């Protein structure tokens, strides 16, 4: 795929995921949180399963590792993650929630060490600690500030941890099924689990006023915010590698914050911006080797293009 195609995937994933935080916040005004999360994956699962059934020759889970991968993703990446995220967003701003969510690439090495035995170097520990410092700067935990905002941010943080754990468990399962079909099945199974959880906590479809705003919020979160965003993200991993794909996590808060400011009038606290910067530095420390490789590759490309331009001009 061309660099333009890669950039298009990066932009699609960043914009769709970032704006989904705002759509979630808007929809929570009328839709119970866990039920809203279930609706999200009802829509996305139907669309993605229809797509993979046509686009893939092998799209059904066939091995034990496939089933384990689907279950791990359904429980932690879809179910627990989204239940916590949607409940947490009731109590925190869209931009702050997106920033907390960007901690995922920083904490993943911890779970990789615990579940897979992957080595964690001293610089990796430094990167993880920087990420945690960034979270502390954002949440500012203190006895005087244990209100709804801190509670909501804590739930979003737990959601990010759930995704990181699910991703590592998926890696440990080593499924043979391709990523996109596996994700589609995980969405379907996770949606069923979320509907059960919604009933357990006493939520009901009957309480939802199906206004135009509600329908738009549910539809946007399900289609662009999940089906398109996840599809673009997984294609980006395949085309550009996980390091560059993980950079989506750091574009999402910017998109979410600007969109929330424009549409909802939310203001982003200075401490949130500072905390995000610290988390970003932590990510850079963790991915220092890969980022150095990418920078060297970019410099080599620029130098090659410059030489080609000079040669064309001389001719």
Q: pLDDT tens, 146-199? A: 455 678 888 988 988 888 888 888 878 889 999 889 999 999 999 999 999 999
pTM for this structure? 0.76
Residues 160, 103 contacting (CB under 8 angstroms): yes
Is 128 a residue whose pLDDT tops 90?
no
Q: Are 194 and 37 in contact (CB under 8 A)?
A: yes
| Residue 307: band (very low, low, confident or very high) from pLDDT cuts 50, 70, 90 | confident
Confidence of residue 139 (pLDDT cuts 50, 70, 90): low
User: Which pLDDT does position 75 carry in this prediction?
Assistant: 95
Q: Distance of CA 309 to CAs 4, 88, 299, 303, 314, Å?
A: 20, 52, 15, 10, 9
Higher pLDDT, 155 or 92: 155
Q: Is 45 exposed, middle or buried (0-12, 13-18, 19+ CB in 10 A)?
A: buried
**Range ranked top by mean pLDDT from 4-8, 52-56, 128-132:** 52-56
* pLDDT band for position 140 (cuts 50, 70, 90): low
Q: In the chain, what are the domain boundaries?
A: 3-286
Element counts in the chain: helices (H) and strands (E): 15, 0
Give the model's pLDDT for residue 46: 95
pLDDT in tens, 237-257: 767 666 566 667 777 777 887
Output b/e per residue, 195-228; b: 16+ Cβ within 10 A: bebbeeeebeeeebeeeeebeebbebbbbbbbbb
pLDDT score recorded for residue 145 = 47
What is the band of 301 on the pLDDT scale with cuts at 50, 70, 90?
A: confident
Check residue 31 and give its pLDDT: 96
CB contact at 8 A, 209 and 41: no
Specify whether the backbone of 32 is left (phi greater than 0), alpha (psi in -120 to 50) or beta: beta
pLDDT attached to residue 172: 84
Between CA 267 and CA 93 the distance in angstroms is: 8
How large a percentage of the chain has pLDDT more than 90?
Answer: 36
Q: Does position 107 have pLDDT exceeding 80, yes or no?
A: no
Q: Give start and end residues of each alpha helix (H) in 56-178.
A: 64-72, 81-88, 94-101, 104-116, 122-139, 148-173
């Amino acid at each position: 795929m061309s660099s333009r195609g890669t950039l298009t995937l990066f932009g699609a994933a960043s914009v769709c995921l970032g704006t989904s935080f705002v759509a979630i916040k808007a929809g929570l005004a009328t839709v119970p949180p866990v039920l809203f999360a279930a609706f999200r994956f009802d829509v996305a699962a139907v669309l993605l399963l229809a797509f993979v059934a046509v686009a893939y020759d092998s799209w059904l889970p066939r091995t034990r590792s496939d089933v384990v991968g689907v279950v791990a993703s359904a429980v932690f990446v879809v179910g627990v993650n989204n239940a916590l995220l949607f409940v947490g967003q009731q109590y925190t701003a869209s931009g702050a929630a997106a920033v907390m969510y960007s901690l995922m690439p920083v904490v993943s090495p911890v779970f990789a060490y615990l579940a897979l035995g992957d080595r964690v170097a001293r610089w990796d520990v430094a990167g993880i600690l920087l990420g945690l410092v960034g979270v502390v700067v954002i949440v500012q935990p203190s006895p005087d500030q244990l209100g709804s905002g801190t509670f909501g941010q804590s739930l979003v943080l737990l959601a990010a941890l759930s995704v990181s754990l699910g991703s590592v468990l998926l890696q440990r399962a080593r499924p043979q099924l391709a990523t996109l079909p596996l994700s589609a099945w995980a969405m379907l199974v996770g949606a069923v689990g979320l509907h059960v959880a919604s009933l357990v906590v006493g939520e009901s479809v009957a309480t939802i006023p199906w206004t135009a705003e509600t329908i738009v919020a549910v539809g946007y979160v399900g289609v662009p915010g999940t089906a398109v965003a996840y599809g673009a993200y997984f294609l980006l991993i395949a085309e550009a590698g996980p390091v560059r794909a993980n950079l989506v996590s750091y574009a999402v808060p910017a998109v979410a914050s600007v969109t929330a400011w424009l549409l909802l009038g939310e203001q982003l606290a200075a401490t949130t911006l500072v905390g995000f910067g610290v988390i970003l530095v932590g990510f850079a420390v963790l991915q220092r080797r890969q980022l150095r490789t990418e920078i060297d590759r970019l410099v080599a490309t620029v130098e090659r293009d410059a030489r080609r331009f000079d040669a064309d001009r001389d001719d």
